[in-house]
Structure 1
Amino acid sequence: MDDMAIIVTGSSGLLGSALVKALRADGVRVVRLVRRAPQGADESFWNPAKGLIDPAALEGAEAVVHLAGAGIGDRRWSDDFKREVVRSRVEGTRTLVKALTELSAGPPALLSGSAIGFYGDTGDREVDETSPPGSGFLAQDVVVPWEAETAPAEEAGIRVARLRTGLVLSRDGGMLPRILPVFKLGLGAPLGSGEQYWSWISIDDWVRAVQRVLKDPEISGPVNLTAPGPVTNAEFTRVLGEAVHRPTMPLAVPGFVLRTAIGGFAEEGVLTGQRVVPRRLLEAGHAFRHMGLNEALAAVL
């Protein structure tokens, strides 16, 4: 490479595209790993399922941000789709880490995507990066083996940060655009008990947090990318209704209705929750732009 770059996988997704835009706005050279024919010098081909990657694209890079993986809530959880969710994360991380550890002058840092699903259902118990993994498909079948694939990079002396991301609030993708039309009709309602905690972060704060981790050599290991103020689903419903100036329904949507409508994702992605605190970022002195849900939704909407 003529100049040091940051390598990004999953750059066409909600998070990757926002990060690439912000990095380039700051004058950072970004090279995107893509699974099609590259369309310029800022792209390089890789095929994680076949273990294909161009080492030259990684040689001498400043850092790698690995965000590739099938969207967990994109489709109904069939057995085939669940296998794809796991495969896309495990194989992609394995391919990338293998290439990084074989370089003579590899990047000193790897920021690898992860999720707060690691903690399972925490009820009203507050958890941080020191907490153990929970149970269930997301925790034990997805996140634990996904994160384990980064271990060889750590052993090779690469600084590894595992980005355990919560519910990202954005108008451009994720959950918010799916539920906004319902709330704008005045039909928003708590889901299930409404007592499950949703640990959220605005897309702006997510990008800023990743930029902080990129720049701070002292931050490694698991890093919770959530705002400091998780809320219950009932509170989230109330605040979002106020943000769009519409009433919300007094009765909750029963869990069995959600399970029938969207299958297994309802159980682990909607009806259970995690009360997650971003302890690592707070201890590092990171300043969140949107500390409260009200201000985050105001900014996003």
Structure 2
Amino acid sequence: MSQTVLITGGTGTIGRRLTQLLIQEGYQVSLLSRSVKPIPNVNVYQWDVKKGHLDPQAIMTADYIIHLAGAGIADERWTDARKDEILGSRVMSTTLLAQALAKNAHHVKSFIASSAIGYYGGDTGDRPMTETSPAGTDFLAQVTRAWERSEDQVAALGIRTVKMRTGVVLTMEGGALPKLAQPIRLGAGAPIGSGHQYISWIHIDDLCRMYIQALTDESWQGVYNAVAPGPVTNEALTKQIAQVLNRPLLLPNIPNFVIRMMFGELAITVTGGNYVLNKRVKEETTFQYRFGDLKNALQDLLT
């Protein structure tokens, strides 16, 4: 009998790909969603985080939970209201799951939760960050610290909990890569700011495979930096995209002040950088990357 994985945020970019790969691996997938619109080969249960509603059947039928839900960090400008939504969507959804697990009979064996390398701060320069590095103090760090504290509520119930501090996810279905690649295809690509800011990236399939391995491998516990082995600068990434697409880079770097004018405080997500190392994944797990090399990852996604 196949095991059931309950996913929150399953209709997002990562959730959709993760669902495909889980089904390929023989798992049954259930989603918690605000809408109960049918999805092929998936059981959909309803929840409403703001109203504190969660269909208990979702919990009672799950063997594992993967928690991805949360308002997109870079989807909109950071107004005060948007900041509240970014924080609240993460903390409230996790708390709702913890409460449902506490009061319903269940057989959930592990809880694999999304987090972010924003834990270390939006811009940590070229200082190497590992899982034991201190948290930052800016908005992204405050959100991620609160997010991870809320995930501790599940761990406190005795459920093995894994927190994936995720880097920049490379996929053509959303996120940064299409926005970087499109102007390069049109001959209008350029590095951002100094171009020296580091990007700690991961191919979406490797990220999803990490989640899948962590479901059943009991050696996974606590916090992991879900990034590829080699962070690269924004300039190096831009040049590598241009090389894979066989396009020239003709324009000068886009100045930081232009990015700040366009995006406000949100600009830190592209002008800032993080040199994050996958220390625990590399040293403490058997996980093997399929796309640990940037060129191979871009060739897979862009060609």
Aligned to 1:128: 130
Aligned to 2:17: 18
Structure 1, unaligned stretches of length 5 or more? none
Amino acid of the structure 1 residue aligned with 2:129: V
- Secondary structure (helix, strand or coil) at the match of 2:146 reads helix
Shift of 1:169: 0.8
Amino acid of the structure 2 residue aligned with 1:116: I
Aligned to 2:49: 48
Aligned to 1:218: 219
Shift of 1:249: 3.5
Task: Give per-residue Cα distances to partners, 1:75-105, cap 9 Å, x unaligned.
Answer: 1222211111111111111111111122333
Amino acid of the structure 2 residue aligned with 1:278: N
**Structure 1 residues 114-123 or 245-254, which shifts more?**
245-254
Task: Give per-residue Cα distances to partners, 1:116-137, cap 9 Å, x unaligned.
Answer: 1011122111111111111210
Amino acid of the structure 1 residue aligned with 2:23: R
Aligned to 2:247: 246
- Please tell me whether the aligned partners of residues 200 and 227 of structure 1 are also in contact (alpha carbons under 8 angstroms): yes
1:98 aligns with 2:99: yes
Distance 2:126 2:2 in 1: 48
Identity %: 40
Aligned to 2:273: 273
1:144-155 mapped onto 2 (5 Å cutoff) = 144-155=145-156
Shift of 1:292: 1.4
Distance 2:186 2:57 in 1: 52
Shift of 1:227: 0.3
Shift of 1:235: 0.9
Aligned CA RMSD, in angstroms, stands at 1.5
Relative to structure 1, is the Cα distance of residues 185 and 149 closer, same or farther in structure 2, using a 3 angstrom cutoff?
A: same
- Secondary structure (helix, strand or coil) at the match of 2:82 reads helix
Could you tell me the TM-score, scaled by structure 2's length?
Answer: 0.94
- Secondary structure (helix, strand or coil) at the match of 2:17 reads helix
**Structure 1 residues 279-288 or 243-252, which shifts more?**
243-252
- Please tell me whether the aligned partners of residues 100 and 106 of structure 1 are also in contact (alpha carbons under 8 angstroms): no
Aligned to 2:140: 138
Structure 2, unaligned stretches of length 5 or more? none
- Please tell me whether the aligned partners of residues 188 and 251 of structure 2 are also in contact (alpha carbons under 8 angstroms): no
Distance 2:179 2:198 in 1: 19
- Secondary structure (helix, strand or coil) at the match of 2:193 reads coil
Task: Give per-residue Cα distances to partners, 1:248-291, cap 9 Å, x unaligned.
Answer: 14521110100011221112x11111111111211212111111
- Secondary structure (helix, strand or coil) at the match of 1:31 reads strand
Aligned to 1:80: 81
Distance 2:94 2:156 in 1: 15
Aligned to 2:5: 6
- Secondary structure (helix, strand or coil) at the match of 1:187 reads coil
- Secondary structure (helix, strand or coil) at the match of 2:46 reads strand
- Please tell me whether the aligned partners of residues 38 and 45 of structure 1 are also in contact (alpha carbons under 8 angstroms): no
- Secondary structure (helix, strand or coil) at the match of 1:149 reads helix
- Secondary structure (helix, strand or coil) at the match of 2:95 reads helix
Relative to structure 1, is the Cα distance of residues 4 and 289 closer, same or farther in structure 2, using a 3 angstrom cutoff?
A: closer
- Please tell me whether the aligned partners of residues 244 and 299 of structure 2 are also in contact (alpha carbons under 8 angstroms): yes
Task: Give per-residue Cα distances to partners, 1:217-271, cap 9 Å, x unaligned.
Answer: 111111111100110111111111111111114521110100011221112x111
Shift of 1:3: 6.2
1:116-265 mapped onto 2 (5 Å cutoff) = 116-120=117-121, 121-140=123-142, 142-249=143-250, 251-265=252-266
- Secondary structure (helix, strand or coil) at the match of 1:39 reads coil
Distance 2:296 2:3 in 1: 36
Amino acid of the structure 2 residue aligned with 1:114: S
Shift of 1:215: 2.1
Shift of 1:38: 5.1
Amino acid of the structure 2 residue aligned with 1:133: A
- Please tell me whether the aligned partners of residues 95 and 153 of structure 2 are also in contact (alpha carbons under 8 angstroms): no
